[in-house]
Amino acid sequence: MTNDPNKTGHNPVPEVGTKPSAKPAPKRFAMSFVAPVGAFIALAIVGQLLEASTNQYVQLVLLFMCANIIFATSLNLVNGFTGQFSIGHAGFMALGAYTSAYLSTAVVQNPSFFDFIWFAIAGGLVAAAAGYVVGLPSLRLRGDYLAIVTLGFGEIIRVILLNTPAIGGARGLFGIPRPKEVVLGDFVFTNFYMNYLLAIFWVILTLVVLWRMVHSVHGRKFLSVREDEIAAQSMGINTTQVKVRVFVISSFFAGIAGAVFAHAAQGLTPATFGFTKSVDAIIMVVLGGMGSLTGSVMAAAVVTLLPEFVLRPLTDITGIDLRMVLYSLALILFMILRPSGILGTRELPDLWRKNGK
């Protein structure tokens, strides 16, 4: 993808400047397969190092970070790439989290490692189905109105969770298992490590699917809806269909994010999935740059790590809990000083590519 001769740094739409059809098919397939597997292996090795060098606290925060990465990138598909405005994303995450948690506690006893994959898929599917139900009527609305409807649905989902005794209601659902440790000869893969493998599997899968999607013909459709809906319509694009499709896919991955979150936290309460959780996702998307997947990844990392590893120690020094005050202040300043987010609409590889030329 890097050696397209027509590509320049000043291309107005750099992230779609490369055409998927520009390369011979087998090589492209190989690339799309090798890169993620390579990344998985690399991260798996990093995981071993982390396992050895960090404590459980850092490890738990890393797992939350993985969930947030999936959560933020999935919302970026709707907010960043398609220009729709959803502020109820936490509702879909909640559905995924509760579905996966319920399956692993009440339905399947002693789940194996691979069971967790289908629990997450089930969570994703439930969220996707809800996304379809929400999206179909509401995506005809524009801008802020869509935002308000998604907010409404997010709240409705939370109220329903709060009042469903089977999943604990306000008392919460606890004792959610993690994948068990695996012993292979001398090697012990702890339950953190197994959980980490599962989490990075989903992170990579999400990124690959979303990356492939936004760099495909479908991705072009998303962008055309974002840039000018009327023009897109006049080009023969069924904009409502595109929007619903994007919404369903995004909800699916939000559900996956929920599943990763549920097995990391090992306990769920409806309060977790309130409006502030949706706001967190929007913050990550805008902070990273609307329409930049790698930007969302970085922003998710920053938003998860900053309060824990930077602001908490700061609180120890000042003696007052200023975590949220500093966080909100940083947010305002960042929006004013750098409105396009960390990466704008560009992706991380774009930066290196510019340098190489």
CA-nearest of 136, 100, 45 to 261 is 100
Instruction: Name the residue nearer to other proteins (CB basis): 81 or 116.
Output: 81
> How far lies 139's CA from each of 127, 135, 150, 247, 275, in Å?
17, 5, 10, 9, 20
Residues facing 189 on adjacent strands: 182
**Chain residues 7-36 in contact with other proteins, contact rule CB under 8 A:** 9, 12-13
Task: Kindly indicate which of the ranges 116-124, 212-220, 252-260, 314-322 contains the residues binding other proteins, using the contact rule CB under 8 A.
Answer: 314-322
Task: Kindly indicate which of the ranges 20-28, 47-55, 116-124, 247-255 contains the residues binding other proteins, using the contact rule CB under 8 A.
Answer: 47-55
Least separation in angstroms between residue 227's CB and other proteins is 6
Task: Kindly indicate which of the ranges 21-29, 56-64, 118-126, 193-201 contains the residues binding other proteins, using the contact rule CB under 8 A.
Answer: 56-64
CA-nearest of 116, 97, 100, 101 to 199 is 116
* The one among 41, 45, 170, 217 contacting other proteins by CB under 8 A: 170
CA separation for the pair 271, 269 (Å, rounded)? 5
Q: Is 181 in the site for other proteins (CB under 8 A)?
A: no
**Chain residues 130-169 in contact with other proteins, contact rule CB under 8 A:** 137-138, 140-145, 147-149, 151-153, 155-156, 159-160, 162-163, 169
Count of residues in the chain: 357
CA separation for the pair 161, 155 (Å, rounded)? 10
> How far lies 198's CA from each of 30, 65, 110, 356, in Å?
23, 13, 17, 34
Site string for other proteins, 204-233 (x = CB under 8 A): ----------------------xx--x---
Q: Is 286 in the site for other proteins (CB under 8 A)?
A: yes
Q: Is 114 in the site for other proteins (CB under 8 A)?
A: no
